[in-house]
Amino acid sequence: MIKITTKGLTACQITGHAGYAPKGTDIVCAAVSALYGGLVTSLNAHSDCLMSVVEAEDGYNLTIDYPDSASTLLMKAFITSVSAIADNYPKNIKVTTS
């Protein structure tokens, strides 16, 4: 199961694997990876926030320092999107927001 934990609109941790299909063909993993990649790319392109992106063997950690209106909107969009995936694949992804 993919576990996505957000801390407000300034931090996000993603761990695990969806287990929906074999590695390399898993549409749930692909969707989450694409959304996360889009988030990081969009933050770099459209926000003046400072961020830390850490890629570990077991997942990703994103921390936003000095958030601005663009980073807040982008994080909201990311959370909305991954939550929609979780609604459709509840056995494969869990989103926890705080």
In one letter, which amino acid is 13?
A: Q
Residue-number span of the structural domain to which 75 is assigned: 2-97
83: alpha, beta or left, given left = phi > 0 and alpha = psi -120 to 50? alpha
Q: pTM for the complete prediction?
A: 0.95
Residue 63 pLDDT level (bands cut at 50, 70, 90): very high
Give how many domains the chain has, as a whole number. 1
Q: What is the largest CA-CA distance in the chain?
A: 39
pLDDT of residue 2 exceeding 90, the answer is yes
Number of CB atoms found within 10 A of residue 64's CB: 23
55: which strand partners? 60
pLDDT tens per residue across span 68-84: 999 999 999 999 999 99
pLDDT tens per residue across span 3-62: 999 999 999 999 999 999 998 999 999 999 999 999 999 999 999 999 999 998 889 999
The CATH number of whichever domain residue 23 belongs to comes to 3.30.70.1490
